[in-house]
């Protein structure tokens, strides 16, 4: 699962390009995030070996170097203070201590403000991973300090639903008309997959990391600034999440306005 994203992090590790703070956008990513922590820390392999001391640290039920905030509802300032205390101590067994904040959209305003201070000056020996399926509900100040990694959702995996439609929309700005919400959801998912592929390809020019095979056909014709693409990507994810409450053709129109 998510092999391409593991490949991506493995490449970052080899190239010494791992950042301190990430936001993983998707569902059920807690155990995958721990795998990323393991990958970043394992010095035996480009991925993880599962047998060195640091890999084994991730199998322990209690570790001084790994801290997860996994609250079912709100994440309060007390949770953030505990995390900050955890970060204040030097790592015992790991190269980089791992802090994971699951459902980061549940941070209260007070907790967000407190956490912002950590994100502004994260300790060097740490890896911070926030997880959320609703990045649109996270404070923009928090969002802007994390590298965002977008995960495929189950029905987001390449449909190849609309190669021509996708191309017409992205390159020509020609708007599709949808008869059903299902059709629109597939379209939005395809747009999201493409934009994410474009961002990854822009950073590391490796076509094996692309999620959708049609991305590679469209990428040479799609010449956009990466920051602008991230903005469109976030907009597309917000719209996809709100699609049940929106008029679908209006939603496509809104997306088109941002991507102009
Ligand atoms: Zn290892």
Per-residue pLDDT of the chain (260 residues; tens, 9 = 90+): 678 788 889 988 988 889 999 999 888 899 999 999 999 999 999 999 999 999 999 998 788 999 999 998 999 999 999 999 999 999 989 999 999 999 999 999 999 999 999 999 999 899 999 999 888 889 989 988 998 888 765 444 556 567 788 888 888 888 888 888 888 888 888 888 888 888 888 877 777 777 777 888 888 888 888 888 888 888 888 888 788 888 888 888 888 877 77
| CA neighbor of 241 nearest in space, from 26, 22, 23 | 26
Pairing of strands 147-150, 97-101: unpaired
Distance 151 CA to ligand 1 centre (A): 24
Q: Tell how far the Cα of 54 is from the centroid of ligand 1, in angstroms.
A: 6
Question: How far does residue 41's CA lie from ligand 1's centre (Å)?
Answer: 7
Please state the separation of Cα 137 from the chain's center in Å.
14
Residue 70: its pLDDT value, please?
Answer: 95
Distance from the alpha carbon of residue 149 to the mean position of ligand 1, in angstroms: 23
How far apart are alpha carbons 171 and 45 in whole angstroms?
Answer: 41
Cα(201) to centroid(ligand 1), Å: 28
Q: In sequence order, which residues have a C-beta less than 8 Å from that of residue 12 and are 6 or more positions away?
A: 18
Exposed/middle/buried for 230, CB within 10 Å: 0-12, 13-18, 19+? Answer: middle
Q: How far is the CA of 53 from the centre of ligand 1 (A)?
A: 7
Helix H segments across the chain?
A: 3-14, 30-41, 53-57, 77-88, 109-120, 140-143, 163-167, 181-203, 213-218, 226-242, 248-259
Dihedrals φ, ψ of 91, to 5°? -65, 140
Contact 77, 69 (CB under 8 A): no
**What residues flank ion ligand 1 with Cβ within 5 A?**
42, 44, 48-49, 52, 55
Give the single-character DSSP code of 246.
S
CA distance 19 to 115: 17
Which H or E element spans position 149?
strand 147-150
Q: Is 238 left (phi over 0), alpha (psi -120 to 50) or beta?
A: alpha
Ligand 1 center to residue 173 CA distance, Å? 47
φ/ψ (deg, to 5) at 127: -130, 120
pLDDT of res. 153: 58
User: Measured in angstroms, how far is the CA atom of residue 63 from the centroid of ligand 1?
Assistant: 16
**What is the reported pLDDT for 54?**
94
β-pair partners for 77:
none
What pTM was computed for the model?
0.72
Q: Could you tell me the distance, in angstroms and rounded to a whole number, from the CA of residue 204 to the centre of ligand 1? A: 25
Cβ neighbours around 11 below 10 Å, total: 18
Looking at domain 1-151, does it have CATH number 3.40.50.2000?
Answer: no
CA 40 to ligand 1 centroid distance, Å: 9
Whole-angstrom Cα distance, residue 241 to residue 146?
A: 21
Show me where the domains of the chain are located.
1-151, 156-260
Ligand 1 midpoint to CA 32 (Å): 16
């Amino acid at each position: 699962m998510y092999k391409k994203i593991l490949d991506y992090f493995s490449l970052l590790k080899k190239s010494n390009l791992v950042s301190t703070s990430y936001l993983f956008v998707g569902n059920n990513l807690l155990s995958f995030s721990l795998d990323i922590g393991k990958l970043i820390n394992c010095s035996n392999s480009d991925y993880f070996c599962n047998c060195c001391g640091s890999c084994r640290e991730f199998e322990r039920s209690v570790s001084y170097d790994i801290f997860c905030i996994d609250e079912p509802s709100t994440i309060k300032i007390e949770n953030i203070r505990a995390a900050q205390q955890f970060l204040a101590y030097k790592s015992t067994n790991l190269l980089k201590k791992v802090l994971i904040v699951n459902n980061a959209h549940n941070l209260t305003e007070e907790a967000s403000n407190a956490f912002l201070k950590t994100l502004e000056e994260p300790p060097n020996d740490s890896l911070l991973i926030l997880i959320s399926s609703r990045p649109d509900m996270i404070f923009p100040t928090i969002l802007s300090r994390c590298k965002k990694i977008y995960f495929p959702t189950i029905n987001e995996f390449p449909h190849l639903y609309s190669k021509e439609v996708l191309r017409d929309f992205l390159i020509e700005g020609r708007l599709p008309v949808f008869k059903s919400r299902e059709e629109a959801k597939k379209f939005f998912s395809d747009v999201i997959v493409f934009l994410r592929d474009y961002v990854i390809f822009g950073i590391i020019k490796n076509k094996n990391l692309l999620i959708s095979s049609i991305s590679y056909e469209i990428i040479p014709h799609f010449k956009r600034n990466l920051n602008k693409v991230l903005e469109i990507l976030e907009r597309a994810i917000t719209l996809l999440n709100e699609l049940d409450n929106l008029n679908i053709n209006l939603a496509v129109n809104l997306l088109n306005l941002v991507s102009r």
